[in-house]
Structure 1
Amino acid sequence: MTLARAVVGFLAVSVALVLQVSLFPHVAWQGVVPNLVLLVVVAAALTRGAQFALVLGFVAGVLLDLAPPADHLAGRWALALVVVAYLAARVRQDVRPSTAAVLATVAASSFVGTSLFALSGLVLRDPVISVGELLEVVAVAVLWDLLLTPFVLPPTMRLFERLGRAGAPV
């Protein structure tokens, strides 16, 4: 991983995190905000592959775990985003994935990431919620992420693709 790629990945995650914790709580639906950080990790996985996406997913997860107003045990988002990065990187092909493949990957990634975060909370008794509430949160999170996919993934994927064409090794 080159320094330029690492810096751009960190900046993309940072911008997504700032928007996610400052702007999007004002448009939360049933208390759930879009997970822009997850979308950046999925874009990295689809364009740069597993190695870059796993590192970015871990760093993004730790930042998300520590960013205010975090009220959960640290490490839960880090675990969820590493798993998301791995799963989304499995979809990566040598050619740009189709729109249907990107949407399916985002839906699956959002479902898996949010479910893993929520289930780890149940196991750790972080905030105790019912399974019905958990399923409702997961469904709303998937819907939010799918709604924002056309606005977040194309420019982010182009950004990560441009890094690869600039002579940086894959």
Structure 2
Amino acid sequence: MRLNRILLSTALVVVALMIQVSVLARLHLPGAVPDLLLLTVLGLAMVYGHVGGALVGFGAGLLADIAPPADHAVGRYALVLCVIGYLAGLIKPETGQVRTATGPMAVVVGAAIGSTLLYAGVGALVGDTAARHVGLPGLLLTAAVYDLLLAPFVVPGIMALARRTENDPLAETTSTSKKAADISSGWISSGTGLHIGGQRSAFSSLKTKARARTARIGRIKGVKRL
């Protein structure tokens, strides 16, 4: 990943994790907790692609695994967000801009349900049965609803920031200089009449005139001989 991606992703992930732990986790909402970290990974993945999404997801999940008050095995949430970031990055549009909000909202719902199921599945493999006691259907429903309500305030802003950092000033300067060179060459060529097409037409006109003069001279000579 490039340096601007790393810096922006790190800053957004740290801020999202701080808000997640200090504010959202203390709301004591029924069921699941709104996952701001998941929404941050989704917003970055839909701009950076599947590779960048997987890397951002793994880093964000690993940071959440070691940040207090984490009560699960290290690497569990890193695996979940890595998979979710990879899958979300697969729907990245070619232009990097999403035309409608339907696609991102569907991604948010699918990611909320998929991350909950994957987190519970990994927990079951390591012997954590907390999801069974809480109720998995209730967690899936509340996770999808909370993340869907929070997504319009988070995902578009993160995608806009990510797209802004994707613009390379050096590339823009190079393209601008190329355009200026093309314009200047056009002005020079138009001022001096050195266009390639014009040059060919000038040569052809000169040849035509030379042939006409030769033919005319031949006719005159012929008349004199008569």
2:156 counterpart residue number: 154
TM-score, length-scaled by structure 2: 0.70
What aligned pairs does 1:43-82 form with structure 2 within 5 A after superposition?
Answer: 43-82=43-82
1:124 to 118, 123, 126: 126
> In structure 2, what residue type is equivalent to 1:100?
T
Q: Which has the higher contact order (CA 8 A, sep 6+)?
A: 1
**In 2, Cα distance between the equivalents of 1:168 and 1:86?**
29
CA contact (8 A) 1:2 1:168 kept: no
Residue identity matched to 2:71: D
Letter in 2 for 1:56: V
CA distance in 1, matches of 2:160, 2:145: 23
Q: What is the total number of aligned residue pairs between the two structures?
A: 169
* Paired position in structure 2 for 1:143: 145
CA distance in 2, matches of 1:72, 1:164: 35
Identity of aligned residues (%): 36
> Which amino acid letter does the alignment assign opposite residue 56 of structure 2?
L
Q: Summarize the alignment of residues 13-24 of structure 1 with structure 2, pairs less than 5 Å apart.
A: 13-24=13-24
**Aligned counterpart in structure 1 of residue 108 of structure 2, from 106, 109, 114:** 106
Q: Over alpha carbons, which structure has the higher Rg?
A: 2
Structure 2 distance, partners of 1:15, 1:31, is 24
Which amino acid in 1 is paired with 2:65? D
Q: Distance in 2 between matches of 1:153 and 1:110?
A: 14
TM-score of the pair, normalised by structure 1: 0.92
Q: Structure 1 pair 128/10, CA: closer, same or farther in 2 (3 Å)?
A: same
**Structure 2 runs not aligned, ≥5 long:** 172-226
2:10 corresponds in structure 1 to 10
Match of 1:26 in 2: 26
Runs of 4+ in 1 over 6 A off after TM superposition: none
Gaps of at least 5 residues in structure 1 are: none
**8 A Cα contact 2:64 2:77, kept in partner:** yes
Q: What secondary structure sits across from 2:26 in the alignment?
A: helix
